């Protein structure tokens, strides 16, 4: 199985694509935030189309395995005073975690980070819980990024 990573434009995506995005994010939300209410389609698609202002402009890519949504990566480039930072958020479907999908998604946006002209300070936010709610091992990426505590 090969991970197919493509840009996701929420304003031009089909309803089927947005439904798949919602189902993948909702499954991850249920595992990562079990104490919170379920993620609604409106909430997932709303944040995709209108991200929080403090995140600045950004882009989203979706990874698919055999046509099934496997994960997403969002690159946000905050404006001043944080205009030297690139925020990266990786989300992988809980049933597909610990298979290198998150690493592949993260690596796919590194050229965009470097092209942005910002320092290579990448902040990856990922919840490390596998399906079943157990915590996984810490995320490690061998792509030239240093692990940093924020």
What are the domain boundaries of the chain? 3-125
CA distance from start to end of the chain: 35
Question: What is the pLDDT, as a whole number, of residue 119?
Answer: 63
Question: What is the pLDDT, as a whole number, of residue 123?
Answer: 44
Q: What's this model's pTM, rounded to 2 decimal places?
A: 0.79
- Which has more pLDDT, 49 or 129? 49
Question: What is the pLDDT, as a whole number, of residue 91?
Answer: 92
3-125: CATH topology is: Aminopeptidase (3.40.630)
Residue-wise pLDDT tens digits, 105-139: 999 998 998 888 876 444 444 445 445 545 544 44
Instruction: Give the residue-averaged pLDDT of 68-83.
Output: 90
Residue-wise pLDDT tens digits, 2-44: 899 999 999 999 999 999 999 999 999 999 989 999 999 999 9
Residue-wise pLDDT tens digits, 78-108: 888 888 888 888 999 999 999 999 999 999 9
């Amino acid at each position: 199985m090969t991970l197919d990573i493509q840009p996701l434009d929420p304003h031009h995506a089909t309803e089927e694509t947005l439904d798949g995005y919602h189902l993948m994010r909702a499954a991850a939300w249920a595992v990562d935030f079990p104490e919170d209410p379920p993620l609604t389609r409106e909430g997932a698609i709303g944040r995709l189309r209108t991200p929080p202002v403090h995140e600045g402009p950004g882009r989203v890519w979706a990874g698919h395995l055999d046509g099934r949504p496997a994960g997403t990566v969002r690159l946000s480039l905050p404006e001043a005073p944080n205009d030297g930072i690139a925020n990266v958020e990786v989300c992988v479907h809980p049933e597909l975690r610990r298979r290198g999908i998150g690493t592949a998604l993260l690596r796919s946006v590194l050229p965009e980070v470097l092209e942005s002209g910002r320092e290579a300070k990448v902040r990856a936010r990922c919840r490390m819980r596998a399906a079943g709610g157990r915590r996984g091992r810490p995320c490690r990426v061998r792509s030239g990024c240093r692990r940093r505590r924020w």
